[in-house]
Amino acid sequence: MDIEKRAQHLTDRLSYIRDIFVGRNGEIIDSLGVRLDSFFQNLADGSMKSPLEELVQLEKGFDEVERLLDSSLTPMEKVRIVRHPQRFCLRDILENVYDNFTEIGGQDEHSIDPSMVIARATITRHQGKKKYSQLIMVIGQEKGHGEEFRNGGSVKPWGNAKARHFMQVAETENIPIHTYVFTPGSFPVEDYPGAAQQIASNLYEMAGLSVPIISVISEGGSGGAEAIALADRRLMFSHGYYSVISPEGAAAIEGRLKGGARATPELIAHCAERLHMTAQDNLNFGYVDRIVQEPCLGARPFHYDFFRTLRQEVIRATDEAVLGARGFSPMRRLTLRRWGRDDTNMDEVFLSWNLSDSAREKLVAKRQKKFLRLSKGACWDRRPVLSRLRRNARESWDSLYARVKFELYTRHRQRISNFMNETLSMAVWLRDRMLYPITRKPVGPRLRPETVRELTTLSTWKEEDESRKGRWAYVSPRAREDRTVTCPNAATHGCLDLWAPDLYGEFAGVCTTCGHHFPMEYQWVVNNVFDADSVREFNAEVEAANPLNFPGLGESIQKAKEKTKLKSACVTFEARLNGIRMIVAMLVGPFRGGSVGAAEGLKFVEAAKLAEKKRYPFLAYVHGTAGIRIQEGTHGVIQMPRCTVAVRRYIEAGGLYLVLYDTNSYAGPVASFLGCSPYQFAMRSSNLGFAGVGVIKETTGIDVPPHYHSAYKALSRGHIQGVWDRREVRANLEQLLLTAGGRNLYYR
Amino acid sequence: MDTNHIVLIANRGEIAVRIAQACHRLGIGFACVYTEEDAASGHLQVARELGGALFRVSSYHDANEILSVADQAGATAVHPGYGFFAEDFRFARRVTTRDRKMIFIGPSWQVIQALGDKINTKRLARSLGVPTVPGSDRPIYDEQEAEKIARSLYEFQLQQGVAHPLVLVKASAGGGGMGIEEVYDIDQFRSVYRSIRNYALRQFKDEGVLIEQRICEFNHLEVQIVADRTGKNPVHFGTRNCSIQSTGRQKRLEVAPGFAPADIKYDFDAAALLDTITSHSLKLAQKVGYDNVGTWEWIVTRDGSPFLMEVNTRIQVENGVSAKIARLNGKPGVDLISEQIRLGLGEPLGYTQSDVSLEGFGIEYRIIAEDPANHFSPWVGRIERFSWEPQPWLSMHTHVPAALDGTPYDIPTEFDPNLALAIVWGADLAEAKARGHAFLDSLVLEGHDKDGSPLQSNVAFLKDRTDGILRFA
């Protein structure tokens, strides 16, 4: 009986192997099958002398073959391993790694989102006879060995909201968080909230969460992974993948597939390879801190020794994070070095995971700095060293100057002037009161000649703003064509065809009948919103590159550079709006769809830093963005947490971070550093969300209703704070600069 | 002049007829447009008689269609008439800047734009010392400033002897009577100001307001300006008094010239006043380089203060009454529409102010099927008979076929119910009035609506008002 059960287990292992190696290593696998078949044959007819011996031999044979196959795994095969129903799940980890756990926020299918599991777990460590029980908040996607209601670990927005909620609970209780990433990607629906909106909110939360966060990645698909993976220590399973997009998605984009067409397996495998998504790749890039070794061909629930290893790893990682935050006493430094190096049994040492307030602050600062340091080498930074030094020196001076000016001078000056004004006002009142009997005015209308003159002659009028009405500094080149344009709402709103020179010129791309906004060039906003001649670009020398040597990307980047005369999709500049100086980071649609890679991320982060130093408001003007530049792989996706950290640091320093969407804005950037702003506004021409209509249909099978991503829908979802008319942008922005947030702005 | 031009007439009714006739007189080609509902209008008949091409369009308002018809007709110029595209600077700009350029018979689009903006006009006027209605000449955004202006306007009126001063609060971006409210109690000002400001913000996305004196009891005068494309030598063709209007402030009876100082006694020097407003109008025309025909609208208070209201950058309905009293080098028979086309096509003016003289009095009646007793509500039905006694001192302009060849005519409901313009002339005021009465008495205008009720018209109203013309009522 026992033998049969063990033999049956081998059948499972064989089918697992067959599933992983599709069309490869057929001979070896078949010979294994033949051996297993003959074993069963012999078992059935009782022709074996010692079935147990035979079985052990056979098991050894399996081990050997698995070891052999494991040494030559391709990235695509790793993808299959990670997605296999036999792979271990979060519940297996909860049962085998932790000593005790209570699932919260739902039970099985009775959950707001069964694909996101939250548990309160404990780890008990002992030193001699003493036992220490340590509490942890465990958060992660649950694939449930293929249970349908788990949705393959693809989490809906409210699942991510649940995760964020329990992160806050952990922060209140001052206990560490362990997150486990098992997701092919987030479920891309725009509901209440939308997918992007929620992921951005999670990222923003984690960028400043003051308890240790350890995340372990098995399947890390883009935004869905980032929603719980902005951590102090990031571990990765040796057979996992962490990528900007699933290989199928990348293949669909690379092959320019439309309308349900499928990519060939070769192209998918090719993309899997080119995306550099394995654990080793990500360790080399620095995007994960450590690899957790799995057994050959990936861990399955019966690999108990693997769970022991994992337990050691997560405890060590948590200890490291805690120690790092506590400050370095010589003893701690020594301990840390030892724990990191040798194979101490982490169960037998004890380190309290409670952090003091100052340690919590330090923890957050360390986490933020860690992310800001990432991906530096993945773009082409052609800023001359000397000018960079000069710039740094100037910025430090600016920062010092701002501190002295605002914190010492301005504040005191204000106090003095308030006092003077008050005193003066009282003195005038007293004087008038005393002199009243003498200077009393006669009753009845008594009009001074200058008043009459004011009413009847030309007044002075600074027409600065008025003069912009309909007369724009920048006029689209499309306004030079003598042709008519039909408004897409003509059938429903009865719009007359518009003459292109009027539409793209005076009307600023707005239909005069229904208000439909035609997309315009980014130059329109740059030239018509900011004060004339006030735009000064900086960091223009940072160029988009091809860090993974992705085939074809180099040429298309070159083409985009020639077409747009820009060096990357992100342009950062200083500008003034009615005299108020500000820093602007602009994502330009025509440059590779406004996609964000390492260069764009670097420029964005630098812009946020500069704005903080100078105490300027910081505007992210999103002319358009298609998402993260997938051909840069994790160099791209890491910009999500990275830029979010930069934004959070800026906001917490008392800045005013505004986001303005212009045309189509989707995916990663919206789901992170753009979507987390408290002040997001969209022009009527914009569509925003997580995934486009085609991707939603492809991944979820849902037919989305019309205008699903329109700015007004985003407003209803609470993603943005207002929808603006293009012609009003300047006035609205100015109003916002004067009224919204930011306690540390230079003009306050 | 170059007679190879073809003018597309982008209008209908009476003005289309007159433009077609003017083109014919000038010896240049023309093309007319009409809509399905308007197929019975007399301007089609005139076009057929005079050899103009005809094009059916789906709307008089669709610039795209009008211009493609113009291309099809091989037109070299577009005449907008009045209404529709007449004061649309964008249409004028499009006509003159598109790939296949044409002449817009009217002022250049820059002039239309400059004078189409009331604030701009007011500021231009003030910069030249031309009197305008007291009050602000720029949008006011600040509540305290607004109240200060309102209070001084109130006191200003008290000082001027106005017993019940009124202040108007207008949305500066508004127009056509929208977003205007009157303040009769200055303590009410703030609440009115706020409601207008909020309305303006909602409606026009601009919270600026204008604050002006509300002038009651005034006469509405106009100055007819004519200039050529150089814009340097404008002349005027006298003044008109258009004070007799319907309750909806639509003109019904116009008289040229604007006052009769020889026959009627006014509280002010009327002759000097007419000189003042014509010279002011010319000054402004010269300043903006006005380069076609146009009308300067003035209001004149009972005590004889003139204020420039606005400039109409087009030929007006009542142009004929000015032409009727005008003499060019002493000769009658002036046709301002022909002049407009001639000058629009680039001909030089060819005369100066001293060559223009005025003689006698003209009265224009707008004959309309409506019920003056019932808020001038329009009457709709079929006109069966429409005739009058021809006189050497009378000109009639109509597009109603019943008058042209006796065909019954169903008044289309889509357009304003103006049926005809009758212009009579007299050597003095008494003769003009007498001839007006004689004409109105001889007029036969009969018809029935679909219930069989007889046609209603404003003829009795016009007759009643004839006696009091040019007097301050």
Residues A235-256 have pLDDT tens digits of 999 999 999 888 888 887 777 7
Torsional sign, CA A182, A187, A188, A190: negative
Contact pairs from chain A to chain B, CB under 8 Å: 62
CA of A698 vs chain B CAs: smallest distance (Å): 42
Helix (H) or strand (E) holding B309: strand B306-312
- pLDDT of A331 reads 75
- pLDDT of A698 reads 78
- pLDDT of A452 reads 86
Question: Among A51, A72, A93, which residue terminates a domain?
Answer: A72
Q: Which residue of B61, B93, B156 is in closest CB contact with A447?
A: B156
For residue B159, which residues of chain A lie inside 8 Å, CB to CB?
A: 445, 447
Regarding whether A255 and A342 lie in a shared domain, the answer is yes
Q: What is the arithmetic mean of pLDDT over A359-380? A: 93
Regarding whether A333 and A292 lie in a shared domain, the answer is yes
Residue A263 falls inside a structural domain = yes
Strand partners, B9: B32, B79
- pLDDT of B393 reads 96
DSSP-derived pairing of the beta strands B6-9 and B370-371: unpaired
Torsional sign, CA B49, B50, B52, B56: negative
| Residue in the structure block whose two tokens are 């707008």 | B366
Residues A46-99 have pLDDT tens digits of 888 888 898 999 999 999 999 999 999 999 999 999 999 999 999 999 999 999
Q: What is the arithmetic mean of pLDDT over A102-127? A: 94
* Strands, sheet with B418-426, edge to edge from the N-terminal-most edge strand: B306-312, B294-301, B218-226, B235-245, B251-256, B361-368, B418-426, B394-398
> DSSP assignment of B37-50, as one string?
GGTTSHHHHHHHHH
Regarding whether A651 and A720 lie in a shared domain, the answer is yes
Residue A389 falls inside a structural domain = no
Regarding whether A528 and A514 lie in a shared domain, the answer is no
The reply to whether A496 touches chain B by the CB within 8 Å rule is: yes
For residue A496, which residues of chain B lie inside 8 Å, CB to CB?
A: 61-64
Residue from A145, A20, A29 nearest A81 by CA: A20
Distance of CA A581 to the CA centre of its chain: 28
Q: Is the confidence at residue A337, as pLDDT, over 80? A: no
Q: d(Cα A489, Cα B15) in Å, to the nearest integer?
A: 35
Active site positions of B, annotated: 314
Residues B161-176 have pLDDT tens digits of 888 899 999 888 766 6
Residue A202 falls inside a structural domain = yes
- At residue A429's C-alpha, the angle toward residues A428 and A433, to 5°, is 115
- For the record, the structure tokens of B314 come out as 């087009």
For residue A445, which residues of chain B lie inside 8 Å, CB to CB?
A: 155, 158-159
| Residue in the structure block whose two tokens are 């500021």 | B123
Q: d(Cα A261, Cα A121) in Å, to the nearest integer?
A: 45
Confidence tier at A748 by pLDDT (50, 70, 90): confident
- CA distances to B13, B33, B43 from B47, in Å: 11, 10, 6
- pLDDT of A696 reads 85
CA of B100 vs chain A CAs: smallest distance (Å): 9
- pLDDT of A504 reads 95
Question: Among A331, A358, A373, which residue terminates a domain?
Answer: A373
Say which DSSP state A505 is in: I
CA of B129 vs chain A CAs: smallest distance (Å): 7
Contacts of B272 (CB under 8 A, 6+ apart): none
Asked if B62 lies within 8 A of A496 by C-beta distance, the reply is yes
- pLDDT of A103 reads 95
Residue range(s) defining the domain that contains residue A654: 522-739
Task: Report chain A's mean pLDDT, rounded to a whole number.
Answer: 91
Confidence tier at A393 by pLDDT (50, 70, 90): confident
Residues A191-231 have pLDDT tens digits of 999 999 999 999 999 999 999 999 999 999 888 999 999 99
Q: d(Cα B212, Cα B472) in Å, to the nearest integer?
A: 23
- pLDDT of A335 reads 72
Q: Which residue of B99, B139, B153 is in closest CB contact with A455?
A: B153
Residue from A404, A525, A546, A544 nearest A468 by CA: A525
Asked if A457 lies within 8 A of B98 by C-beta distance, the reply is no
* CATH code of the domain containing A289: 3.90.226.10
Q: End-to-end CA distance of chain B: give it in Å, rounded.
A: 47
Q: Which residue of B64, B93, B100 is in closest CB contact with A497?
A: B64
Residue A591 falls inside a structural domain = yes
Number of structural domains, chain A? 4
Q: What is the arithmetic mean of pLDDT over A297-324? A: 94
CA of A738 vs chain B CAs: smallest distance (Å): 17
Regarding whether A171 and A210 lie in a shared domain, the answer is yes
Q: In chain A, which residue's Cα lies nearest the Cα of B153?
A: A455
For residue A482, which residues of chain B lie inside 8 Å, CB to CB?
A: 98-100
Residue A553 falls inside a structural domain = yes
- pLDDT of B33 reads 97
Q: In chain A, which residue's Cα lies nearest the Cα of B150?
A: A455
| Preceding amide of A75 cis, omega within 30 | no
Q: Is the confidence at residue A702, as pLDDT, over 90? A: no
Residue A104 falls inside a structural domain = yes
- pLDDT of A341 reads 60
Q: Output the pTM of the full model.
A: 0.88
Strand partners, A577: A580
| Residue in the structure block whose two tokens are 């290593």 | A25
Residue from A109, A100, A190 nearest A138 by CA: A100
Domains of chain B: 6-105 (3.40.50.20), 134-213 (3.30.1490.20), 218-466 (3.30.470.20)
> φ and ψ at A410, to 5 degrees?
-55, -45
Regarding whether A574 and A493 lie in a shared domain, the answer is no
Please tell me which residue, B60 or A387, carries the higher pLDDT value.
B60
Regarding whether A351 and A205 lie in a shared domain, the answer is yes
Angle, helices B189-204 vs B143-159, to 10°: value is: 130
Q: Is the confidence at residue A556, as pLDDT, over 90? A: yes
For residue B100, which residues of chain A lie inside 8 Å, CB to CB?
A: 482
Regarding whether A242 and A110 lie in a shared domain, the answer is yes
3-class secondary structure, A46: coil
Q: What is the arithmetic mean of pLDDT over A26-30? A: 92
Those residues of chain B that have pLDDT short of 70 are: 174-177, 473
| Residue in the structure block whose two tokens are 């430090």 | A396
ipTM for the predicted complex comes to 0.86
> φ and ψ at B162, to 5 degrees?
-80, 125
- pLDDT of B180 reads 87
Q: In chain B, which residue's Cα lies nearest the Cα of A479?
A: B98
Question: Among A519, A543, A576, which residue terminates a domain?
Answer: A519
Regarding whether A539 and A515 lie in a shared domain, the answer is no
Residue A64 falls inside a structural domain = yes
Asked if B156 lies within 8 A of A728 by C-beta distance, the reply is no
Regarding whether A560 and A510 lie in a shared domain, the answer is no
Percentage, residues of chain A above pLDDT 70: 96
- pLDDT of B328 reads 96
Distance of CA A365 to the CA centre of its chain: 18
Residue A222 falls inside a structural domain = yes
> DSSP assignment of A201-249, as one string?
HHHHHHTT--S-EEEEEEEEEHHHHHHHH--SEEEEEEEEEEESS-HHH
Regarding whether A302 and A235 lie in a shared domain, the answer is yes
Please tell me which residue, A333 or A700, carries the higher pLDDT value.
A700
Q: d(Cα A12, Cα A2) in Å, to the nearest integer?
A: 16
Helix (H) or strand (E) holding A183: strand A177-183
CA of A379 vs chain B CAs: smallest distance (Å): 44
The reply to whether A443 touches chain B by the CB within 8 Å rule is: no
Regarding whether A155 and A45 lie in a shared domain, the answer is no
